Amino acid sequence: MALPLAPIAVVALRYGAVALTTYAIARSVERGRRDQRHEDALDEAPEGLTARREKTDDSEQVNATARMRRVIRLGENGPGVEIDAVGLTRIRFRKV
């Protein structure tokens, strides 16, 4: 009995296209750098949600922060991992 190659070729082409696209995107993304000022700002953010509205002469700005810190353990005294997720947002509206 012959092995039908057409369905296998379609799947191989699909996975090949996904792999090629992923490789191209990974090559085009610029490598980030760590700035200590930004790290300090993230460390100083309070836990929970905060928002502040600021109005100047020509623009209006809203700043928001969100922080969640949790420790997840496997078992009562087992190995754990700490998750510290921080998000900073700035939205600025300006009349032009």
pLDDT for 37 equals 93
pLDDT in tens, the chain (96 residues): 667 888 888 899 999 999 999 999 999 998 888 899 999 999 999 999 999 998 877 778 899 999 999 999 988 888 999 999 999 888 888 877
User: Residue 25 CB: number of other CB atoms within 10 A?
Assistant: 9
Q: What whole-number distance in Å separates Cα of residue 69 and Cα of residue 82?
A: 7
Q: What whole-number distance in Å separates Cα of residue 78 and Cα of residue 72?
A: 10
DSSP letters for 41-81: HHHHSPSEEEEEEEE-SSEEEEEEEEEEEEEEESSSSS-EE
Q: What whole-number distance in Å separates Cα of residue 28 and Cα of residue 34?
A: 19
